[in-house]
Amino acid sequence: MSPDPLLPDPMAPPARRRDRHGRGLRAPLLPHTVPAWRTRREQFDRLVMGHVDRMAVICPAVETIEFAVEEVPPSDPAPWERGVVLGRAFDAEPRAGLAPRVVVYRRVIASRASSASELSSMIRTVLAQQVASLLGVSAEDLERD
């Protein structure tokens, strides 16, 4: 019985894996320690969490809220939402064991910001509005530096 030609020969030496010209693998363009290594999603998440941490100093009740970042809002807006949804606040659901939640939509916010400082400002404003609606406090108080 002859060996199957489609299966690799177990007695053959292992195939050499290298790049096309035999120079070895390339090093990464950027070291892992520089900020440019992070993806846009990671940078956005860091901005959100930085603003949440600042709000928690101003209002300790912010720590009871869960925060999430999603790419885009679902295609079924609530009847009271007009225009483009930048973020949503969800009340606590004790029966389901869910804490109050705030969801921020990354692509919607990022597409409207023309600079990094404007992006940070928009994130702070959206978070302050959503948290204020959950906690019943003033959004201006949460936005202050």
What is the distance between the alpha carbons of residues 23 and 128, in angstroms, rounded to a whole number?
Answer: 53
Dump pLDDT digits (tens) for 76-93: 777 766 778 899 999 988
**Would you give the DSSP letter of residue 29?**
S
Q: What is the pLDDT along the chain (145 residues), one digit of tens a residue?
A: 556 666 666 677 666 555 666 666 666 677 777 767 778 898 899 999 999 999 999 999 999 999 999 998 887 777 766 778 899 999 988 888 888 999 999 999 999 999 999 999 999 999 999 999 999 888 888 887 6
Angle value at C-alpha 118, between 100 and 67, nearest 5 degrees: 15
